[in-house]
Amino acid sequence: MSILSLVGLLLSFIGFFICLSAHEAAHAYVADKLGDPTAKYLGRMTLNPLAHIDIIGTVIVPVFLIISGLPAFGWAKPVLIDIRNFRNPRLGNFLTALAGPLANLIFALILVIIIKIIPAASFLILLVRINIILAIFNLIPIPPLDGSKVWNLILPWESYLTLERIGPFILIAFLALSNYGGGAIFILADHISNFLLNVI
């Protein structure tokens, strides 16, 4: 691997950590505002990447996929919440989950505005793309992704718990069928990123 490729990989990881931290901190922040301080007490309501890194999901899996030539994806340590602390547990669970992807979209829009002022900021363009990828990926309504919490509003509780148990297997199958690791997600993210960067 060339020095240029290594630098690109390093920048991608730094960008990934930054965007992932915004995503996870948003979960913790909204949960706290809705009445559950669990994540706050565990130190997750912070933009410090070290508080959110999962060695396997944030480092090992993405590196393995990149080395294998596959689209990279990963995950952070889950933000723990206790839905019993919410006034409306189902709605609180959904809103807390939605906060992560929404934070990434807002972050991307702020970056686009900055890029209009500093057009040569290539690292910021990378951050826009990573934010969009994280938002789209996490909005997929398959457990354990954030988008799956919508089923908590619709399904009976027992059905929702069953879906939560089998969800990871469905997600693995989805990613395997989506052009080896969710390539379709990356294509969609590129289209949205290009639209934001070129139109707004």
Q: Give the tens place of pLDDT for each residue, 17-65.
A: 899 999 999 999 999 999 999 999 999 999 999 999 988 888 887 777 6
Catalytic residue among 24, 32, 36, 146: 24
Nearest one of 89, 105, 92 to 137, comparing CA atoms = 105
CA gap 81, 88 in Å, rounded: 13
Looking at per-residue confidence, does 154 or 173 come out higher? Answer: 154
Q: Give the tens place of pLDDT for each residue, 170-186.
A: 888 877 776 554 577 77
Lowest mean pLDDT among 1-15, 22-36, 78-92, 127-141: 1-15
Burial class (CB in 10 A: 0-12, 13-18, 19+), 107: buried
Q: Give the tens place of pLDDT for each residue, 111-128.
A: 999 998 887 678 899 999
pLDDT at 162 over 90: yes
pLDDT at 64: 77
pLDDT at 89 over 90: yes
Q: Identify whether the C-beta of residue 127 lies closer than 8 Å to the C-beta of residue 18.
A: yes
Is 164 in the active site?
A: no
CA gap 37, 64 in Å, rounded: 35
Q: Residue 174 is encoded by which pair of tokens?
A: 């989805």
Q: Identify whether the C-beta of residue 132 lies closer than 8 Å to the C-beta of residue 189.
A: yes
pTM of the model: 0.89
End-to-end CA distance of the chain: 36
pLDDT at 198 over 90: no
